[in-house]
Amino acid sequence: MRIATWNVNGLRSRLEFVLHWLAARQPDVVGLQELKLTDEQFPYDELAAAGYRAAVHGQKAWNGVAILSREPGEVTRRGLPGQEELGSRLVTARFGELSFTTVYCPNGKSVGHEDYPRKLGWYDGLAAHWAATEAPARLAVLCGDFNVCPADLDSHHAPGAAADRIFHTAAERARFGRLLEGGLVDLYRDRYPETRMYSWWDYRGGAFHRNLGLRIDFVLATPALAARVRDVVIARQYRKKKDGFTASDHAPVYADLD
């Protein structure tokens, strides 16, 4: 089984690229983030033709998340309770014993911006929601764009150099850490504890070619699922322009499970 996450940075602009990737990599369940379109605008027919069903929690021009799957699932949650004003950022569906959630966590903009404490509050809401509803599940996935670098190894900045910058603060890292303390495993870091690999690169300043990136996209899973992992891949090649299609600023991340 292959599970995946990808912030597509606008699905209308990226649809052909996503279809290319789906055909090439054949994932079974995929969390998409930053759709930037409403449920009504979602390309259900094109994805169905590619063999995928979709559970969507969209929003006009901003945010928006979806789960693509080969097999039908049951949507159990759209939106994070108590955090609706921050937009469409969470959707959960069940596939047999597997509960699959994808999230697009708030960016926060900067430490001095009013969105920064709102980001921390959103994370608090996510931890509480997960503990109350999903933590008891034996087989559960929480994946998406978390907009945080959990450790210095996850950032191109020198150790400690970005401690006061967004994505790197102690408060953000502590919120992410609560999810791991609650029983989730960061599948990539569990598999590759010392590897420096990124999932996001700014479009500006040649950041991708200079490999000035951040690892902010994760597939987290319960221990029972983590024990079944064969490999975890950050598909850096899909951050590149391919066959005339313009890439997102994020690479897809996928995990292969027995």
Task: Give bridge partners of residue 92 from the DSSP assignment.
Answer: 77, 101
From the candidates 104, 116, 188, 198, give the one annotated as an active-site residue.
104
Residue 253 · residue 213 · CB < 8 Å: no
Annotation says 145 is catalytic: yes
253, 234 contact by CB (below 8 A): yes
Residue in 28, 145, 186, 249 annotated catalytic: 145
Phi, psi of 164 (to 5 degrees): -105, 10
The DSSP code sequence of the chain is: -EEEEEE-S-HHHHHHHHHHHHHHH--SEEEEE---S-TTTS-HHHHHHTT-EEEEE--SSS--EEEEESS--EEEEES-TT-GGG-S-EEEEEETTEEEEEEE------TTSTHHHHHHHHHHHHHHHHHHHTTT-SSEEEEEE-----SGGGBSSPTTTTTTSTTT-HHHHHHHHHHHHTT-EEHHHHH-TT----SEE-SGGGTTTTT-EE--EEEEE-HHHHTTEEEEEE-GGGGS-BTTBPPPSB--EEEEE-
Known catalytic residue at 104: yes
Among 71, 164, 60, 181, CA closest to 112: 164
| Residues catalogued as catalytic | 104, 145
